[in-house]
């Protein structure tokens, strides 16, 4: 793992010969990783430094474009860890405001890329748009590069199964419970972290005690309701697990809960933090006619999860 340095504008990171990319990079998925790999390749040749210029908060939450329902693929900590693992040297965070969004592309390039980051080469994703009303594109970037003395490269789109990888596409997959498809685009198992809190202890009465998770990051996207095979990361150890997301309809539940049955584990988890990684959706959540029928189904779910997670 590399060591990622984080800078908040207008803090001066004092960078030279920078190879820069710009974007929110929510998910740090395979499309993003192809850009980051190219950044490192160029920086190695130039003897320069790799820089991701990103925005906080997410631009859509400021511009009001679906912001009420916008959920993110990464917590800030997850994003930092993924970028560090990718070997990126610097993440520069630009505060995104309505005033910021009104800047034209020329002002953005001159003020932030040229004067602030001293860009030597800019690498952008396929069909990248920027500036007020997204008027800036690859062609205009090349013109500004000629004017200010930096190179520009546009990466081709990244496809997985003939589908273009994007954060929006991954969110759509998670919203229908297709964690397998989402994982293929992410390049890793989708994570979700939470603090274990006291629940109704229904699982204990069925012989399958569960840890009820209060999700730590409120903007984090929770996959669609259903039963999932998961890997549980607890105190630097990995366990196989079964996760249910839903309202516990057999017991007339109303509120959505995230509960995890950890296989081969005994101990007190209250007030402890768990990270689960989704591997595969086993089935939808449904109401059973009796506790006995539910218990039999959970037992079948556990056996299926064990088989799926044997190689994980």
Q: Among 5-9, 121-125, 129-133, 267-271, where is mean pLDDT lowest?
A: 129-133
Distance CA 183, CA 279 (A): 8
Is it true that 15-164 and 189-309 share their CATH fold?
A: no
Amino acid 249: pLDDT: 75
- Give me the CATH code for the 189-309 domain, please: 2.40.30.30
DSSP structural state of residue 189: P
Give the angle 173-242-262 at the CA atoms, nearest 5°. Answer: 140
Q: In the structure encoding, which two tokens stand for residue 294, read together?
A: 């539910």
Amino acid 125: pLDDT: 86
Question: Mind listing the pLDDT tens digit for each residue in 160-219?
Answer: 776 789 999 999 999 999 999 999 999 999 999 999 998 766 656 666 788 999 999 999
Distance CA 132, CA 160 (A): 31
CB 51 within 8 A of CB 19: yes
**Domain range list for the chain:** 15-164, 189-309
Distance CA 52, CA 267 (A): 42
Beta bridge partners of 13: none
Question: Mind listing the pLDDT tens digit for each residue in 250-288?
Answer: 776 778 999 999 998 888 898 999 999 999 999 998 888
Instruction: Kindly report the number of other CB atoms within 10 A of residue 297's CB atom.
Output: 16
Q: In the structure encoding, which two tokens stand for residue 110, read together?
A: 């001159």
- What average pLDDT does the structure give for the chain? 90
Amino acid 133: pLDDT: 65
Look at domain 15-164 and name its CATH class.
alpha beta
3-state secondary structure of 116: helix
Amino acid 229: pLDDT: 98
E strand or H helix at 280: strand 273-283
Distance CA 272, CA 211 (A): 10
pLDDT greater at residue 225 or residue 249: 225
Torsion of CA 45, 47, 48, 49, to 10 degrees: 90
């Amino acid at each position: 793992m590399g060591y990622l340095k984080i800078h908040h504008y207008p803090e001066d990171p004092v960078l030279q010969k920078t190879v820069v990319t710009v974007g929110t990079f929510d998910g740090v998925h395979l499309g993003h990783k192809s850009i980051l790999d190219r950044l490192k390749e160029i920086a190695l040749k130039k003897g320069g430094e790799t820089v991701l210029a990103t925005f906080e908060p997410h631009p859509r939450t400021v511009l009001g474009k679906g912001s009420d329902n916008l959920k993110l693929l990464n917590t800030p900590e997850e994003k930092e860890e993924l970028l560090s693992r990718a070997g990126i040297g610097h993440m520069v965070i630009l505060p995104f405001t309505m005033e910021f969004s009104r800047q034209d592309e020329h002002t953005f390039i001159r003020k932030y890329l040229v004067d602030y980051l001293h860009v030597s080469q800019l690498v952008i994703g396929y069909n990248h748009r920027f500036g007020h009303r997204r008027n800036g594109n690859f062609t205009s970037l090349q013109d500004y590069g000629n004017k200010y003395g930096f190179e520009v490269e546009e990466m081709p789109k990244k496809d997985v199964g003939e589908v273009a990888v994007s954060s929006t596409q991954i969110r759509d997959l998670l919203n229908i419970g297709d964690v397998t498809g989402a994982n293929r685009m992410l390049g890793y198992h989708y994570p979700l972290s939470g603090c274990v809190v006291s629940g109704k202890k229904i699982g204990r009465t069925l012989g399958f005690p569960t840890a009820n998770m209060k999700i730590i990051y409120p903007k984090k996207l929770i996959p669609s309701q259903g039963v999932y095979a998961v890997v549980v990361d607890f105190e630097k150890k990995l366990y196989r697990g079964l996760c249910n997301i839903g309202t516990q309809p057999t017991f007339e539940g109303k509120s959505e809960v995230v509960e995890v049955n950890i296989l081969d584990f005994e101990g007190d988890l209250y007030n402890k933090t768990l990270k689960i990684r989704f591997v595969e959706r086993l089935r939808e959540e449904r109401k059973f006619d009796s506790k006995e029928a539910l218990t039999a189904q959970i037992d079948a779910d556990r056996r299926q999860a064990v088989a799926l997670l044997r190689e994980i």
